Structure 1
Amino acid sequence: MSQTPILSLRSARLSVGDKLVFKAGNLHILPRDRIGLVGRNGAGKSTFLRLLNSQSELDSGEYTRQAGLQIGSLGQEVFFENNESVYQFMSKDIADTAGKHVPSQISRILAMVKLSPDRNMGELSGGEVRRASLARAIVWKPDLLLLDEPTNQLDLQTIEWLENWLVSYSGAVVLVSHDRALLRRVTDRTIWLYDQRVEVHDGGFDSFERWSAKLRAFETETDRRQSQKLIEEERWLARGVTARRKRNQGRLGKLKILREQRRARIQEKEYKVSDPYVVEGGGVLALEAKAVSMRYGSQQILQEFSIRIRRGDRIAIMGPNGVGKTTLLRILIGDLVPHTGAITLAPKTHPLYLDQHRAVFNHHETVWEALCSPGGDTIEVNGKPQHIVGYLRKFLFSESQLRRRISSLSGGERSRLLLAKTFAARGNLFGLDEPTNDLDVETLDLLQEIVSDYRGTVLFVSHDREFVENIATSILAIDERGFVTEYIGGYSDYLRLRPPLQETAARKVKARPRRTPGPRTSLGYKESRELSVLPDEISVLDGKLRNLEKILSDPTLYQRDRNTFDRVTNECLRLRTELKERESRWVELEEKQEALRELQKGGT
Structure 2
Amino acid sequence: MNYITVENVSRAYGERVLFENISLGINQGQKIGFVAKNGLGKTSLLNIIARQEQPDKGQVNYRNGLKTAFLSQEPNLSGEITIEQAILESDIPTIRITNEYEKALQNPEDTENLQKCMDAMDAANAWDFETKYTQILAKLKLNDLDQKIKKLSGGQKKRVAMAIALLSDPQLLILDEPTNHLDLEMIEWLEEFFKQEDYTLLMVTHDRYFLDRVCNEIIELDQGNLYTYKGNYGYYVEKKQERLDLEQTTQEKAQQLFKKELNWMRRQPKARTTKSKSRIDDFYKIKEVAHKRRKDHNVELEINMQRLGTKVVELHKISKSFGDKRIFNEFSYNFKRGERVGIIGKNGTGKSTFLNMLTGNLPTDSGKVVIGETVKIGYYTQAGINIKPGQKVIDVIKEYGEYIPLNKGKIISASQLLERFLFDNKKKHDFVEKLSGGERKRLYLCTILIQNPNFLILDEPTNDLDIPTLNVLENFLMDYPGCILVVSHDRYFMDKIVDHLFVFNPSGTITDFPGNYSDFRTYVGSTDIELDKEKKESEPALIKETSTRSNTENSKGPSREQQKQLSRLENKIKKLEEQKQRLQNSFLDPEITPESMTANSIELEKIKEELEEIEMEWLELSEEISSM
TM-score, structure 2 length as denominator? 0.67
Which of 448, 458, 473 is equivalent to 1:447? Answer: 473
Residues 403-412 or 352-361, more deviating: 403-412
| 1:107 aligned onto 2:165 | no
| 1:185 aligned onto 2:183 | no
What are the within-5 Å matches in structure 2 for residues 309-388 of structure 1? 309-360=335-386, 367-372=393-398, 376=402, 378-381=403-406, 384-388=409-413
Distance in 1 (alpha carbons) for counterparts of 2:202 and 2:212: 14
CA drift of 1:63 comes to 1.7
The match for 1:531 is: none
Which of 56, 59, 76 is equivalent to 1:79? Answer: 76
Distance 1:464-1:395 versus aligned 2 partners, 3 A rule: same
Amino acid in structure 1 at the alignment position of 2:84: Y
CA drift of 1:455 comes to 1.9
The match for 1:417 is: 443
Distance 1:356-1:297 versus aligned 2 partners, 3 A rule: same
Amino acid in structure 2 at the alignment position of 1:405: D
The match for 2:523 is: 497
Distance in 2 (alpha carbons) for counterparts of 1:52 and 1:100: 29
The match for 1:238 is: 296
Amino acid in structure 1 at the alignment position of 2:41: G
Residues 9-18 or 285-294, more deviating: 9-18
The match for 1:255 is: none
Amino acid in structure 1 at the alignment position of 2:182: L
The match for 2:310 is: 284
Distance in 2 (alpha carbons) for counterparts of 1:375 and 1:304: 42
Say which SS state the counterpart of residue 210 (structure 2) adopts: helix
Tell me, yes or no, if the aligned pair for 2:309 and 2:374 is still in contact at 8 Å. Answer: no
| 1:8 aligned onto 2:5 | yes
Which of 436, 439, 447 is equivalent to 2:462? Answer: 436
Which of 234, 239, 242 is equivalent to 1:211? Answer: 239
Instruction: Give CA-to-partner distance per residue, 1:233-266, whole Å, 9 cap, x none.
Output: 957x63748x99xxxxxxxxxxxxxxxxxxxxxx
Distance 1:314-1:109 versus aligned 2 partners, 3 A rule: same
Say which SS state the counterpart of residue 471 (structure 2) adopts: helix
Say which SS state the counterpart of residue 54 (structure 2) adopts: coil
What are the within-5 Å matches in structure 2 for residues 5-44 of structure 1? 5-16=2-13, 18-44=15-41
The match for 1:66 is: 63
Residues 20-29 or 404-413, more deviating: 404-413
Distance in 1 (alpha carbons) for counterparts of 2:431 and 2:480: 26
Say which SS state the counterpart of residue 2 (structure 2) adopts: coil
Distance 1:402-1:7 versus aligned 2 partners, 3 A rule: closer
Distance in 1 (alpha carbons) for counterparts of 2:536 and 2:387: 52
CA drift of 1:384 comes to 4.3
CA drift of 1:209 comes to 2.7
The match for 1:55 is: 52
Distance in 2 (alpha carbons) for counterparts of 1:165 and 1:375: 50
Structure 1 portions without partners, runs of 5+: 245-281, 509-534, 552-556, 558-604
The match for 1:518 is: none
Distance 1:405-1:61 versus aligned 2 partners, 3 A rule: closer
What are the within-5 Å matches in structure 2 for residues 128-143 of structure 1? 128-143=156-171
Say which SS state the counterpart of residue 163 (structure 2) adopts: helix
Amino acid in structure 2 at the alignment position of 1:70: K
Distance in 2 (alpha carbons) for counterparts of 1:14 and 1:402: 19
| 1:165 aligned onto 2:193 | yes
Distance in 2 (alpha carbons) for counterparts of 1:320 and 1:373: 37
Tell me, yes or no, if the aligned pair for 2:34 and 2:202 is still in contact at 8 Å. Answer: yes
Distance in 2 (alpha carbons) for counterparts of 1:311 and 1:425: 19
CA drift of 1:367 comes to 5.0
The match for 1:307 is: 333
Amino acid in structure 2 at the alignment position of 1:118: L
Amino acid in structure 2 at the alignment position of 1:136: I
Tell me, yes or no, if the aligned pair for 2:90 and 2:164 is still in contact at 8 Å. Answer: no
Distance 1:124-1:481 versus aligned 2 partners, 3 A rule: farther
CA drift of 1:435 comes to 0.8
CA drift of 1:489 comes to 2.0
CA drift of 1:479 comes to 1.8
Say which SS state the counterpart of residue 36 (structure 1) adopts: strand
Tell me, yes or no, if the aligned pair for 2:346 and 2:506 is still in contact at 8 Å. Answer: yes
Residues 196-205 or 456-465, more deviating: 196-205
Distance in 2 (alpha carbons) for counterparts of 1:106 and 1:17: 44
Amino acid in structure 1 at the alignment position of 2:412: H
CA drift of 1:109 comes to 1.7
Residues 384-393 or 109-118, more deviating: 384-393
Amino acid in structure 2 at the alignment position of 1:195: Q
Tell me, yes or no, if the aligned pair for 1:436 and 1:462 is still in contact at 8 Å. Answer: yes
CA drift of 1:547 comes to 6.8
Distance 1:122-1:103 versus aligned 2 partners, 3 A rule: farther
Distance 1:59-1:125 versus aligned 2 partners, 3 A rule: closer
Distance 1:105-1:239 versus aligned 2 partners, 3 A rule: closer
Distance in 2 (alpha carbons) for counterparts of 1:353 and 1:298: 29
What are the within-5 Å matches in structure 2 for residues 192-203 of structure 1? 192-203=220-231
| 1:145 aligned onto 2:173 | yes
Distance in 1 (alpha carbons) for counterparts of 2:202 and 2:86: 23
Distance in 1 (alpha carbons) for counterparts of 2:58 and 2:350: 50
The match for 1:523 is: none
Which of 450, 458, 462 is equivalent to 2:484? Answer: 458
Distance 1:402-1:155 versus aligned 2 partners, 3 A rule: closer
Amino acid in structure 2 at the alignment position of 1:131: R
Say which SS state the counterpart of residue 97 (structure 2) adopts: coil
Tell me, yes or no, if the aligned pair for 1:316 and 1:476 is still in contact at 8 Å. Answer: yes
Tell me, yes or no, if the aligned pair for 2:441 and 2:464 is still in contact at 8 Å. Answer: no
Instruction: Give CA-to-partner distance per residue, 1:558-582, whole Å, 9 cap, x none.
Output: xxxxxxxxxxxxxxxxxxxxxxxxx
Instruction: Give CA-to-partner distance per residue, 1:101-159, whole Å, 9 cap, x none.
Output: 55554223212222226331344333222222111111233100011111111111100
Distance in 1 (alpha carbons) for counterparts of 2:68 and 2:15: 29
CA RMSD, 1 decimal: 4.1
Structure 2 portions without partners, runs of 5+: 100-128, 259-283, 302-307, 541-569, 587-591, 593-628
Distance 1:368-1:95 versus aligned 2 partners, 3 A rule: closer
Distance 1:239-1:203 versus aligned 2 partners, 3 A rule: farther
Rg bigger for which structure? 2
What are the within-5 Å matches in structure 2 for residues 506-525 of structure 1? none
Give the share of equivalent positions with the same residue, in percent. Answer: 29
Distance 1:240-1:543 versus aligned 2 partners, 3 A rule: farther
Instruction: Give CA-to-partner distance per residue, 1:516-572, whole Å, 9 cap, x none.
Output: xxxxxxxxxxxxxxxxxxx99xx99x979x979x99xxxxx9xxxxxxxxxxxxxxx
CA drift of 1:420 comes to 2.1
Distance 1:122-1:239 versus aligned 2 partners, 3 A rule: closer
Say which SS state the counterpart of residue 446 (structure 1) adopts: helix
Residues 98-107 or 18-27, more deviating: 98-107
Amino acid in structure 1 at the alignment position of 2:89: K
Distance in 1 (alpha carbons) for counterparts of 2:64 and 2:292: 47
Distance in 2 (alpha carbons) for counterparts of 1:191 and 1:44: 13
Tell me, yes or no, if the aligned pair for 2:183 and 2:489 is still in contact at 8 Å. Answer: yes
Instruction: Give CA-to-partner distance per residue, 1:311-367, whole Å, 9 cap, x none.
Output: 111111111122211011222344322111111112211222111111235676665
